[in-house]
Amino acid sequence: MIINFHQITEDDIEQYSAFIKDFYIEVSDLAPPSLFLWRDSFQVQIDQTADYAVLLCTYHEATYCLAPLIKPGVDPAPILQRIHAYFHRQNQAAVFRAVPRELLSLFPTDRYRIIPDRTYWDYLYRTKDLIELRGRKYQQKRNHINRFQQFYPFTYHSLTPEHFPACLRLFEHWAAEKTGQPEVHEERLALKEAFKHFSLLNLKGGALEVYGEIQAFAIGSRLNKDTAIVHFEKANAEFSGIYAVINQQFIAREWADTKYINREDDMGLPGLRQAKERYHPFRMVEKFTVVEVGA
């Protein structure tokens, strides 16, 4: 048998969502909404059976698999051999990215090179910490929220389709200062897909209305039984403290029943890393790149 990748579809994402209920997924890369929303930018393809799910991505001319998900009791060796054969037909060694530590056992070190990749580690926070913001380490965040509440009367809304056009307008306002950055266009495409497939992907969102206009919004989904993941968070930075408010309000209003919040990686960007570290993650979700050797 050969691996049979095809472009991921709505039907695939429904089947994949059902399949991964047997796994405890922690890495944001394997979240069904992440795969579907960014499917065009990352050219996401899938091969899925009752025994396994394998995702293939091509981004900036680099082709790689995400960590293969294989049902317990199924021999991984034939599946990995099929993946290898696919890469060998493309005249390259097999490459796997965003592999969590718990799946490294699939890759014996005599056949693979295992490389920690801090750039793509996810930030995992305690939900309670992000809601309550207790202690000296969150003093600055509390100050930002208090100042915002003092100066700006606002209303929180759980996101519904009626809010989508205003959220897109806000995104374009945010994007106006970032012309020429391809990542912004990719995020725009993903956001439009989120609004188009909001129900299919079981997304939840929240928005802040200030002076009659949506000035901040956030969108997320459930990653596993304990964890929610934040896919988008955008705000009008002209309102000082607004990011701290949408962060807290969105988690408190939509995800208070979770233990953890995954806020994805920082893409190696110093400013984004600093912003995420200021919220004091509970821990990092480590990811590794795995490369076949001797191919």
SS3 of the chain:
CCCCCEECCHHHHHHHHHHHHHCCCCCHHHCHHHHHHCCCCCCCEEEECCCEEEEEEEECCEEEEECCEECCCCCHHHHHHHHHHHHHHCCCCCEEEEEEHHHHHHCCCCCEEEEECHHHCEEEEEHHHHHHCCCHHHHHHHHHHHHHHHHCCEEEEECCHHHHHHHHHHHHHHHHHHCCCHHHHHHHHHHHHHHHCCCCCCCEEEEEEECCEEEEEEEEEECCCCEEEEEEEEECCCCCCHHHHHHHHHHHHHCCCCCEEECCCCCCCHHHHHHHHCCCCCEEECEEEEEECCC
pLDDT of residue 270: 86
Lowest mean pLDDT among 26-30, 145-149, 282-286, 291-295: 291-295
For residue 295, the model assigns a pLDDT of: 60
- What is the pLDDT averaged over residues 18-22? 94
**Per-domain residue ranges of the chain:** 6-121+287-292, 122-264
Q: Do domains 6-121+287-292 and 122-264 have the same CATH topology?
A: yes
The pTM score is: 0.95
User: What CATH code would you report for 122-264?
Assistant: 3.40.630.30
Quote the pLDDT of residue 268: 81
Mean pLDDT of 189-193: 97
Lowest mean pLDDT among 18-22, 119-123, 149-153, 176-180: 176-180
The band of 177, judged by pLDDT with boundaries at 50, 70 and 90, is: confident
Q: Is the pLDDT of residue 122 over 70?
A: yes
pLDDT band at 233 (very low <50, low <70, confident <90, very high): very high
Domain range 6-121+287-292, CATH class: alpha beta
Answer whether residue 294 shows pLDDT above 80. no
pLDDT of residue 8: 98
pLDDT at 180: 72
In this prediction, residue 181 carries a pLDDT of: 78
Give me the chain's average pLDDT, please.
95
